[in-house]
Amino acid sequence: MSKFVYMFDEGNGQKRELLGGKGANLAEMTRIGLPVPYGFTISTEACNAYYDAGKALTSEVELQILKALSQLEEKTGKKLGDASNPLLVSVRSGAVHSMPGMMDTVLNLGMNDQTVEGLAKLTNNPRFAYDSYRRFIQMFSDVVLKVDAFYFEQLLEEVREEKGYASDPEMLAEDWKDIIEGYKEIVKKHAKRGFPEDPYEQMFLSISAVFDSWNNQRAIVYRRLQKIPGHLGTAVNIQSMVFGNMGSDSGTGVAFTRNPSTGEAKLYGEYLINAQGEDVVAGIRTPQPIVTLANEMPEVYQQFVDTCNLLEKHYKDMQDIEFTVERGELFILQTRTGKRTAQAAIRIAVELVQEKIISKNEALLRVDPEQLNQLLHRRIDDSVEKTPLAKGLPASPGAATGIVVFSADDAERLAKDEERVILVRPETTPDDIHGIVAAQATITSRGGMTSHAAVVARGMGKACICGCEALNIDLKGKQFKVGEVIVREGDVVTIDGSTGEIILGEIPMIEPELSDEFQLLLTWADEERKLGVRANADNPEDAKKAFNFGAGGIGLCRTEHMFMDANRIPVVQDMILAESSREREEALSKLLPMQQEDFEGIFEAMDGLPVTVRLLDPPLHEFLPDKEELLIEVTKLQLTAPDSEELKEKELLLRKVRHLDEFNPMLGHRGCRLGMTHPEIYVMQAKAIFYAIATMKQKGIDVKPEIMIPLVGHVNELKEMRELVIKAEQLVKHETGVEFDYLIGTMIEVPRAALTADQIAEEADFFSFGTNDLTQTTFGYSRDDAEGKFLQMYIENKLLPENPFASLDQEGVGRLVETGVKLGRTIKPGLKTGICGEHGGEKQSIQFCHEIGLDYVSCSPYRVPLARLAAAQASIKNDLTQSVSALQVQK
């Protein structure tokens, strides 16, 4: 018989897959002797068995639950449903990967008309007992019977008003009794059944509901976002209740062992006196900062601080801990690795190394490269005068500008139309997750730093401000007021999640800088990685940015971008439209110094580092006006100014545009095919590069140029282009008298090039895999059409695991890259190889590049730090796998 249920003292922290994160940690804390209310965990395997049985608990699982329950009863000396000494339990979800707030929970289970009386007597606190009972009815009905919480809130509000109370603590036991009767009526009306009084029925129904919540909408969205597989299932934890709402000597709270926003090594959290756990995370009352607990309950505070230190040392990472104080006694309800911003992740990892708790390699593996994106975003320029409209809690750093919206649905709808939105809510619930995803940032008027909005925003790296009580939000009227100022839906605001400030209008932003800890972590990464990291940059500014982010050179300079400038495009058009070779030469001679100047700037920024310059790639019509627009202009002119010069010019342009028009430009007249038919363009570019080299050399700059020929499919193309470049080199050397070295290589971006890479290697000093085009040409997809039309559907239906333009398709495109490297190196063993498609800045693709032995990856300047870290992680992981297999061989 399989085992599906584990008492807390049967498990341990290693059994996450089986017990879920929460269950494993509860077991571990029980094992190390912390004050954890006793209970048991129903495993993730039971969840899968539940789904296999068509969403039903099998009798085997039910039997094991009953057995565990009786063990729990024995240990606590209480019994489920016993009117004189009732056991009350919580039923909580707990998946392998933490999914905060995404699944359901039921608290105070075991209450009914009899046990409530027992609890009242036992605690000598009828007010507390009836309050707990009504909370249970409300939560159970919401989670299990699917009765909207709104009906209960409405009744509560009515009674409160009728009695003239400002808040819940003013309610008397008798008031709660009335409310309970009202609640039961609501259940009858909306659930079409009576509220179940039998605690066993309550328990089994709650367990099923928690299993069901694994597949609720928000859990599915969250899993998709976090790439958590759907087959894992959730465990369910049944734990005896402790109560934080038993009076002013009780309370509940959440704390992080370090600041999850900045990483500062200081206890960070909040609590509420006389409240239950849900009150803190739901953000309904704004809680007190944890330090004030030192005054209110000094002994409990000290015990809690000691426990936090112990847990952090035990898990060797920052912990997110939930606790409850019941009549002066501290209980730990949960510990988990705390979610954190990128800034905090870096600082915590670095400081844990400095505190000798973890190794440098462990620190490198702790930070998710994708998360680094958050730090490389722009922030508000401090030098600009600004008057904040209001200030809330700085819940998640980063700055954002956008139009104000008041519902998650509006946020999603407008963001789809490319609108930047800021979601404003009194508080957020897990049902708002799609709005938080779509918005640039979220603001709430209630709730603390551990409220739902804050936790979710930090996890996503989005700016967030919480508890901004100055905001008087009118959801129906779609506006908020701060004093006399009214901000309506559609108005623009800027927020700074690091200071909590909300500012009217758009505020200028500045470029990011890397913190000291970030720099240090990256130097550790550099010591570890084998892959070089270069940047794709087309102008001196980007080259400088890339250098500051630690790029080891330029892996791709797309020269066509230099032509797009407003001053240059007319000259480029003259070159394309030239009727004679003299006219064309004239235009080219104007372009040459322009390009040369750019190359000089780039070489200077990359002094001592390699710079790969690619000759012209896109089809020429990309530099001409759009055909349809031109046609309209010509038609208009034919009617209004039939004899004008302008019409003649436009007609000529239109003829040329038509002549260059292609059925399929992606596979058309581009790349080295242009160089073959218009060698004078490539010659001009090569000369501009060589003149720039000569000038820079004379200035004492160490230039390491690499000239790259795009879209080669046959070795003969490369051979011809190589000869052409060499001729230009000789000419410039002769003219300037300056000697220099350089490489000529090719991009591999069509399958034929990869498959004949041995032949191509004969003519190439290096290969750079252009995996953007290689993905297009391998799949036979045109990227714009695929992403706009069918790719999303393919991914949603799991036909493809991921977008192959974002993460390299290792089985297909990757195999071609691997083949290309192997074939190339059969001819030239030390052949330099790199990748310059967008995949060069994506962590899984970088791992693959490491495994197949590329020399470098090249990516956008902003992704350079990410790539440095990902390359180090690839190397560490590879070494770990190798030592594990070496051990297995020894055995």
Please tell me the distance from the alpha carbon of residue 205 to that of residue 210, in angstroms, as a whole number: 9
Which residue in the block uniquely carries the two structure tokens 């590049």? Answer: 849
Q: Provide, rounded to whole angstroms, the least separation between the CB of residue 670 and ligand PEP.
A: 9
Q: Provide, rounded to whole angstroms, the least separation between the CB of residue 813 and ligand PEP.
A: 10
What residue 494 binds from ligand PEP, Mg ion, none (CB within 5 to 8 A, per partner kind)?
none
Question: Per-residue string for binding with Mg ion, 772-801, x by CB under 5 A?
Answer: -x----------------------------
- Answer yes or no whether residue 713 interacts with Mg ion by CB under 5 A: no
Query: Considering Cα of 378, then 382, then 386, then 392, what sign does the dihedral take?
Result: positive
Please tell me the distance from the alpha carbon of residue 656 to that of residue 613, in angstroms, as a whole number: 29
Closest C-alpha among 871, 889, 757 to residue 816: 757
Q: Provide, rounded to whole angstroms, the least separation between the CB of residue 534 and ligand PEP.
A: 12
Q: Please, how many CA atoms are within 13 Å of residue 14, restricted to the half-sphere of its CB?
A: 1
- Of 423 and 557, nearer to Mg ion (C-beta) is 557
- Of 81 and 770, nearer to Mg ion (C-beta) is 770
Q: Could you tell me the CA-to-CA distances from 52 to 43, 48, 526, 691 in Å, in that order?
A: 14, 6, 48, 71
* Measured CA angle at 869 (ends 868, 872), to 5 deg: 90
Q: What is the DSSP string of 784-836?
A: HHHHHHTHHHHHHTTSSSS-TTTS--TTTHHHHHHHHHHHHHHHSTT-EEEE-
Indicate which residues carry an active-site annotation.
452, 836
- Of 147 and 672, nearer to Mg ion (C-beta) is 672
- Of 558 and 621, nearer to ligand PEP (C-beta) is 558
Please tell me the distance from the alpha carbon of residue 457 to that of residue 441, in angstroms, as a whole number: 8
Going by the DSSP 8-state scheme, the letter that residue 678 receives in this structure is: -
What residue 421 binds from Mg ion, ligand PEP, none (CB within 5 to 8 A, per partner kind)?
none
E strand or H helix that includes residue 319: strand 319-326
Part of the chain binding Mg ion (CB under 5 A), chosen from 172-180, 543-551, 726-734, 765-773 = 765-773
Q: Provide, rounded to whole angstroms, the least separation between the CB of residue 874 and ligand PEP.
A: 20
- Of 180 and 750, nearer to Mg ion (C-beta) is 750
3-state secondary structure of 629: helix
What residue 556 binds from ligand PEP, Mg ion, none (CB within 5 to 8 A, per partner kind)?
ligand PEP
Q: Could you tell me the CA-to-CA distances from 249 to 132, 243, 270, 325, 330 in Å, in that order?
A: 17, 11, 16, 8, 11
- Of 196 and 770, nearer to Mg ion (C-beta) is 770
Q: Provide, rounded to whole angstroms, the least separation between the CB of residue 673 and Mg ion.
A: 13
* Measured CA angle at 855 (ends 851, 859), to 5 deg: 95
What residue 496 binds from ligand PEP, Mg ion, none (CB within 5 to 8 A, per partner kind)?
none
Q: Could you tell me the CA-to-CA distances from 18 to 3, 23, 43, 365, 524 in Å, in that order?
A: 11, 9, 5, 24, 35
Q: What residues contact residue 521 under an 8 Å CB cut-off, 6+ apart?
A: 346, 349, 350, 363, 364, 367, 869
Which tokens in the block code for residue 29?
Answer: 């804390």
What residue 18 binds from ligand PEP, Mg ion, none (CB within 5 to 8 A, per partner kind)?
none
**Between residue 728 and residue 757, which ones bind Mg ion under the rule CB under 5 A?**
749
Q: Provide, rounded to whole angstroms, the least separation between the CB of residue 602 and ligand PEP.
A: 17
Report residue 311: phi and psi, to 5°.
-65, -40
Closest C-alpha among 871, 870, 841 to residue 853: 871
Is residue 798 packed enough to be buried (19+ CB in 10 Å), middle (13-18) or exposed (0-12)?
exposed
Report residue 644: phi and psi, to 5°.
-75, 155
Closest C-alpha among 554, 552, 550 to residue 520: 550
728 close to 595: Cβ distance less than 8 angstroms? no
Q: Provide, rounded to whole angstroms, the least separation between the CB of residue 742 and ligand PEP.
A: 20
298 close to 276: Cβ distance less than 8 angstroms? no
Going by the DSSP 8-state scheme, the letter that residue 79 receives in this structure is: B
272 close to 285: Cβ distance less than 8 angstroms? yes
- Of 103 and 709, nearer to Mg ion (C-beta) is 709
Q: Please, how many CA atoms are within 13 Å of residue 634, restricted to the half-sphere of its CB?
A: 16
3-state secondary structure of 236: strand
Q: Provide, rounded to whole angstroms, the least separation between the CB of residue 627 and ligand PEP.
A: 22
- Answer yes or no whether residue 39 interacts with Mg ion by CB under 5 A: no
Q: Provide, rounded to whole angstroms, the least separation between the CB of residue 766 and ligand PEP.
A: 14
Please tell me the distance from the alpha carbon of residue 32 to that of residue 292, in angstroms, as a whole number: 28
- Of 182 and 837, nearer to ligand PEP (C-beta) is 837
Binding site for ligand PEP (CB under 6 A): 556, 558, 617, 749, 770-773, 836-837
What residue 322 binds from Mg ion, ligand PEP, none (CB within 5 to 8 A, per partner kind)?
none
Q: Provide, rounded to whole angstroms, the least separation between the CB of residue 614 and ligand PEP.
A: 8
What residue 771 binds from Mg ion, ligand PEP, none (CB within 5 to 8 A, per partner kind)?
ligand PEP
Residue type, 726: I
- Answer yes or no whether residue 840 interacts with Mg ion by CB under 5 A: no
- Of 253 and 840, nearer to ligand PEP (C-beta) is 840
Part of the chain binding Mg ion (CB under 5 A), chosen from 375-383, 388-396, 489-497, 768-776 = 768-776
- Of 312 and 617, nearer to ligand PEP (C-beta) is 617
Going by the DSSP 8-state scheme, the letter that residue 194 receives in this structure is: P
Q: How many residues bind Mg ion (CB under 5 A)?
A: 3
- Of 751 and 770, nearer to Mg ion (C-beta) is 770
- Answer yes or no whether residue 841 interacts with Mg ion by CB under 5 A: no
**Between residue 223 and residue 262, which ones bind Mg ion under the rule CB under 5 A?**
none
Going by the DSSP 8-state scheme, the letter that residue 227 receives in this structure is: T
- Answer yes or no whether residue 770 interacts with Mg ion by CB under 5 A: yes
What residue 558 binds from Mg ion, ligand PEP, none (CB within 5 to 8 A, per partner kind)?
ligand PEP
- Of 43 and 771, nearer to ligand PEP (C-beta) is 771
- Answer yes or no whether residue 538 interacts with Mg ion by CB under 5 A: no
SS (H, E, C) 241-265: CCCCCCCCCCEEEEEECCCCCCCCC
Q: Provide, rounded to whole angstroms, the least separation between the CB of residue 777 and ligand PEP.
A: 9
Q: Provide, rounded to whole angstroms, the least separation between the CB of residue 713 and Mg ion.
A: 12
Which tokens in the block code for residue 313?
Answer: 């040392």
Q: Provide, rounded to whole angstroms, the least separation between the CB of residue 687 and Mg ion.
A: 23
- Of 101 and 837, nearer to ligand PEP (C-beta) is 837
What residue 836 binds from ligand PEP, Mg ion, none (CB within 5 to 8 A, per partner kind)?
ligand PEP
493 close to 402: Cβ distance less than 8 angstroms? yes
Q: What residues contact residue 300 under an 8 Å CB cut-off, 6+ apart?
A: 293, 325, 328, 330
Contact residues toward Mg ion (CB under 5 A) are: 749, 770, 773
